[in-house]
Structure formats: structure tokens, C-alpha cells
């Protein structure tokens, strides 16, 4: 017989969605338990996102986990779009009435959240095995897991599926309930982390005949760089020298700008996909973050979208526990999806504008250049990019 535990909200996954939700609920006086199958070290060292929207920064600050981010994060008020060897700045501050983005690694956000959960007595269990969810359409859904050889069953009021794209929550919903919307892109990103001071104060998104390149950063000493590659690329086929050569070529500028290089600390390939399931809830299971939707990284939106989902969910749960009202829980999926689809559109648009497509013809190429010319010369077009990049207002 499994050991039985009781909790208000069960959360699967200790990524940004799961940890932000757990801490927000704690601040509302709602108890949760987070089940994570990886080790804390693995979760905190995984190299992933780096761009935080203003809304994400504001929320982390209000939650009391923003102190190190304020100290170490790099605040940017623009990005550069580079094409035909020339750079064009999109000035966020001027176009959005003062908003910007903060460069602060996802791994650092997770360290700050884990520390906050531990300091406040939160239950975040790492390296749990065989997590499963049951009786989702009942008023007492259950999670089962094994830890150090003991079987547990957790009786919850609600379960939050924050277990990412490959998690178990979404596949636990009965067949026929969800509709999937999916698009694969015919390329991937090869990303490196390099011990090299960033060669630009702001991010550079480059469109080049040989494909897309991105210059980003993690700190004044560490650069994060990406090049468009084949979707099934084998990282072993790329030497560090080859990667730097490709970056130098694609980021080259007519004004003699120079790319700073240094030892490569880490490299990997990321696939590119757009994916949404509707609805994002079934009975008392609520999907949040990558478990419900994936965006290609060109708009830097995945983490931010995960955070807004759980912001919406935490408010709905708070209303339920404070006033017994289910209305915000019932409208959770609709509220999230309205934003999700706008962010999907933006991420798809940035991706379509900046990459070379294998089946494109000369018309497509000219059209992409015209799009870049338009977005960097029309105030209306630049403003649209800027308001999406810094993050759309939360409408709830
Ligand atoms: P996560 O981060 O995938 O966390 C899910 C957690 O669930 C755990 N898990 C399980 N736990 C228990 N039992 C199971 N059966 C489980 N199955 C899975 C996993 O171990 C994991 O810890 O999902 P979440 O919380 O929804 O967060 C989503 C973000 O991580 C993701 O969208 C971003 O990283 C995407 N992304 C970016 N987003 C941005 O907002 N800005 C960016 O600049 C940005 N850059 C990126 C990115 C993603 C990238 N990659 C590698 C996909 C750059 C890259 C290269
Ligand atoms: C990153 O720094 O990892 C990064 C920045 C911008 C993106 C995607 C990833 O669009």
C-alpha cells in the first residue's frame, strides 16, 4: 500500500512554470508539492532561455525572488536587426513608452526560486520516479510517485501539469479531449556558450544568405551565440573553429564590427517547433508552460509564456480558495490561449522573417528582405515588433 499524502495543489515539474506556481501559491497561503524527476543540479545547470520580459521581471520582483536578478541581470532597451551587412536598432524604450527586457539565465531564475521555496519550507522533491496522475475528472485527483524505494499517493484538489513538452500530464488526458496544432520548421539552432565578452551591448538578430545567426549573452564575460543549422544536425560534425567561422560570416557588418571569440564552454542543437493543445485543462488538471505549448526560440518567449500561464492559474486558485468560486478556473484555458496564440503568431513571424527556408524561391528571399526593410524603416512596424518583444499586456 502506498503512503498517502494530502495537499491542496499537486505540481508535476520543477521548471519555471512549476516553481513560479508553487511560490505564488505559497504567497497566497495555498499548499503545494512539486514532483521533479531530474536532480536539482541538472535542472539548475541546464542551458536554456535568457530573455525575461518586463512582466516576468516585475512578477519575480513582487514575489521576493528578484534581488539577484536586479543586481546581475542586464537590462536592454533595444535589439539590432542585421541584414545586408548593416545593423538597424529597434528602440524598445522609445517605441513602448519605457519598457525593456532583462538578460538573466533561466538556470539562475530556477536557483533563485528553489532557494526561496526551501527558505519558506516549500516541498520540492527532486529525483522522484514513475510520476503518474489519476482520476483527473474527479474532485480528488491523485498523483503517484516513488522516492527512495517507497511508493506514495498524493490526494489533491487540483493538479498542475508543469512537466514540459515531454512530460506525462498531457498524455494522461483521455484521447479525443485535446486538439493539437503543430508546425515543424525545416531547420534547427546550433547554440554555444563562450567565454568571450559580448561584442555588442544588445542582442543582434542577423539574416544572412547562409542562414540566421543570433548574438546574445549571459553576462559581461559570457556570450551566447546561435546559428541556423539542419534540423537533424549532428553537433559532432561542427568543430569550434567551424562554428566561429560561420558566426563571423553571418554576423559580418560593413562597418568593420568584430566578433569577440573565446573558449566554447557548452554547445548543443535545438529543434524548432510551434505547438499548441486546446483546451489547456481537463477536469481538475491544468496544463501550463511547455506542456501545453512550444514556440520556436526566435521571439524569446517560451519561459515568459510559462510564467504568464501560472500567473493566471495562481490567481484562479486563489479566488477558489478565498471565495469558493470556480469561474476563473473554468475560464483558465480560454484566458491563457488568447495570449498563447498571439505569442505563437509573433514567434512564427520572427522565425519566418529571419531564417533561410530550404524550399524558398527568389521571390521569398526578396520578400523577407522587404519585410526586414519595412520593420526597420516604418515606425508602425517597429512598434509592433517592440510591443511584442517586451511582452504584451496581460489581459485577464
Ligand atoms: P520545462 O522548463 O521543460 O520544465 C519542465 C520540468 O518538468 C520535468 N519533468 C518531469 N518531472 C516529473 N515527472 C515527469 N514525468 C517529468 N517530465 C518532465 C522536467 O525535468 C523539467 O524540469 O517547462 P516549463 O516550466 O514550462 O518552462 C518552459 C521553458 O523552460 C521554455 O519554454 C524555455 O526554455 C524556452 N526558451 C526560451 N524562452 C524564453 O522565454 N526566452 C528565451 O530566450 C528562450 N530561449 C528557450 C531558449 C529554449 C531553448 N531550448 C533548449 C529548448 C533557448 C533554447 C536553446
Ligand atoms: C538566449 O540568450 O538564449 C536567447 C536570446 C534570444 C532568443 C533566443 C535565445 O530569441
Residue 297 is a catalytic residue: yes
pLDDT, tens digit (0-9, with 9 covering 90-100), for 264-294 = 999 999 999 999 999 999 999 999 999 999 9
Number of H helices, E strands in the chain: 12, 21
Ligand 1: centre distance to CA 294 (Å): 9
- What's the pLDDT at 395? 87
pTM to 2 decimal places: 0.97
Listed in order, the ranges of the chain carrying CATH 3.30.9.10 are 185-272+359-390
Phi, then psi, of 189 in degrees rounded to 5: -120, 130
One of 16, 301, 320, 332 is an active-site residue; which one?
A: 301
Q: C-alpha dihedral over 274, 277, 281, 285, to 10 degrees? A: -70
Length of the chain measured in residues:
396
pLDDT for position 299: 97
Q: What is the mean pLDDT of residues 213-225?
A: 97
Give kind and range of the element (H or E) at residue 80.
strand 78-83
Ligand 2 site, residue 50, Cβ cutoff 6 A: yes
At the fourth CATH level, which superfamily is domain 185-272+359-390? D-Amino Acid Oxidase, subunit A, domain 2 (3.30.9.10)
pLDDT mean across residues, the chain: 97
Find the 337 Cα to ligand 2 centroid distance in Å. Answer: 23
Which one, of 70, 159, 147, 67, lies nearest residue 113 by Cα? 67
State in Å: Cα 273 to ligand 1 middle: 14
The tens digit of pLDDT for each residue in 142-191 reads 999 999 999 999 999 999 999 999 999 999 999 999 999 999 999 999 99
pLDDT for residue 242 is more than 90: yes
pLDDT tens-place string over residues 321-362? 999 999 999 999 999 999 999 999 999 999 999 999 999 999
CB distance 298 to ligand 2 below 6 Å:
yes
Q: Cα separation of 259 and 241, whole Å?
A: 13
- Please say if 231 is a catalytic residue: no
Residues sharing a CB contact under 8 Å with residue 107, sequence separation 6 or more, in sequence order: 44, 45, 46, 47, 48
Q: In 10 A of CB 331, how many CB atoms?
A: 14
pLDDT of residue 396: 85
Contact yes or no for 111/66 (Cβ under 8 A): no
The atom of ligand 2 lying closest to the CA of 51 is 5
Residue nearest to atom 7 of ligand 2 (CA): 300
Candidates 10, 19, 48, 60: which one to mutate for ligand 1, based on the most atoms within 8 Å of Cβ? 48
Give CATH 3.50.50.60 domain extents, the chain. 3-50+105-178+279-350
Q: What pLDDT is recorded for position 124? A: 98
394 DSSP 8-state letter: P
What's the pLDDT score for residue 123?
97
Is 258 marked active-site? Answer: no
CA-299 nearest atom, ligand 2: 10
Q: Is the CB of 350 under 6 A from ligand 2?
A: no
Q: Does ligand 2 have an atom closer than 6 angstroms to the CB of 141?
A: no
* Residue whose C-alpha cell reads 495537499 in the numeric block: 7
Whether 293 is a known active-site residue: answer: no
What pLDDT was estimated at residue 336? 98
Q: What is the topology classification, in CATH, of domain 3-50+105-178+279-350?
A: FAD/NAD(P)-binding domain (3.50.50)
Provide the percentage of residues in the chain whose pLDDT is more than 90: 98
What confidence score (pLDDT) does residue 343 get?
98
Band the pLDDT of 218: cuts 50, 70, 90.
very high
pLDDT of residue 252: 97
Question: Which residue among 226, 303, 305 is best mutated to probe the pocket of ligand 2, counting the most ligand atoms within 8 A of its Cβ?
Answer: 226
- The answer to whether residue 205 is catalytic is yes
pLDDT digits (tens, 9 = 90+) for 4-63: 999 999 999 999 999 999 999 999 999 999 999 999 999 999 999 899 999 999 999 999
Catalytic one of 23, 26, 76, 355: 76
- pLDDT grade for 261, boundaries at 50, 70 and 90: very high
Per annotation, catalytic residue among 104, 320, 332, 389: 389
281 Cβ inside 6 Å of ligand 2: no
Give the Å distance between the CA of 167 and the centre of ligand 1.
Answer: 10
Question: Is the preceding peptide bond at 51 cis, omega within 30 degrees of 0?
Answer: no
Amino acid at each position: 500500500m502506498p503512503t498517502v499524502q494530502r495537499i491542496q495543489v499537486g505540481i508535476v515539474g520543477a521548471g519555471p512554470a512549476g516553481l513560479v506556481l508553487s511560490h505564488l501559491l505559497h504567497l497566497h497561503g495555498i499548499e503545494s508539492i512539486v514532483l521533479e524527476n531530474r536532480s536539482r543540479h541538472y535542472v539548475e545547470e541546464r542551458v536554456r532561455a535568457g530573455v525575461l520580459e518586463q512582466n516576468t521581471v516585475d512578477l519575480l520582483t513582487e514575489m521576493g525572488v528578484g534581488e539577484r536578478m536586479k543586481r546581475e541581470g542586464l537590462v536592454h532597451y533595444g535589439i539590432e536587426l542585421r541584414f545586408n551587412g548593416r545593423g538597424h536598432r529597434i528602440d524598445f524604450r522609445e517605441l513602448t513608452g519605457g519598457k525593456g527586457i532583462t538578460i538573466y539565465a533561466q538556470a539562475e531564475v530556477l536557483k533563485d526560486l528553489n532557494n526561496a521555496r526551501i527558505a519558506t519550507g516549500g516541498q520540492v522533491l527532486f529525483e522522484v520516479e514513475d510520476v503518474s496522475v489519476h482520476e483527473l475528472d474527479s474532485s480528488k485527483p491523485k498523483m503517484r510517485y516513488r522516492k527512495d524505494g517507497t511508493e506514495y499517493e498524493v490526494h489533491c484538489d487540483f493538479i498542475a501539469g508543469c512537466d514540459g513538452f515531454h512530460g506525462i500530464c498531457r498524455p494522461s488526458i483521455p484521447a479525443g479531449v485535446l486538439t493539437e496544432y503543430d508546425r515543424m520548421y525545416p531547420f534547427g539552432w546550433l547554440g554555444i556558450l563562450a567565454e568571450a565578452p559580448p561584442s555588442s551591448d544588445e542582442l543582434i538578430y542577423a539574416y544572412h544568405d547562409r542562414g540566421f545567426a543570433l548574438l546574445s549573452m549571459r553576462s559581461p564575460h559570457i556570450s551566447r551565440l546561435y546559428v541556423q543549422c539542419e534540423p537533424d544536425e549532428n553537433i559532432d560534425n561542427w568543430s569550434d573553429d567551424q562554428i566561429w567561422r560561420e558566426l563571423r560570416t553571418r554576423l559580418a557588418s560593413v562597418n568593420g564590427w568584430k566578433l569577440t571569440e573565446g573558449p566554447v564552454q557548452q554547445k548543443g542543437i535545438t529543434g524548432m517547433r510551434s505547438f499548441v493543445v486546446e483546451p489547456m485543462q481537463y477536469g481538475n488538471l491544468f496544463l501550463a508552460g511547455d506542456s501545453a505549448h512550444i514556440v520556436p526560440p526566435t521571439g524569446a518567449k517560451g519561459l515568459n509564456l510559462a510564467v504568464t500561464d501560472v500567473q493566471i492559474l495562481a490567481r484562479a486558485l486563489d479566488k477558489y480558495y478565498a471565495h469558493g468560486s470556480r469561474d476563473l478556473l473554468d475560464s483558465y484555458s480560454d484566458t491563457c490561449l488568447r495570449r498563447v496564440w498571439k505569442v505563437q503568431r509573433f514567434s512564427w513571424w520572427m522565425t519566418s522573417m529571419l531564417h533561410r527556408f530550404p524550399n524558398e524561391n527568389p521571390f521569398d528571399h526578396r520578400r523577407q528582405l522587404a519585410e526586414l526593410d519595412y520593420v526597420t524603416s516604418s515606425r508602425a512596424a517597429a512598434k509592433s515588433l517592440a510591443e511584442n518583444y517586451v511582452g504584451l499586456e496581460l489581459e485577464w
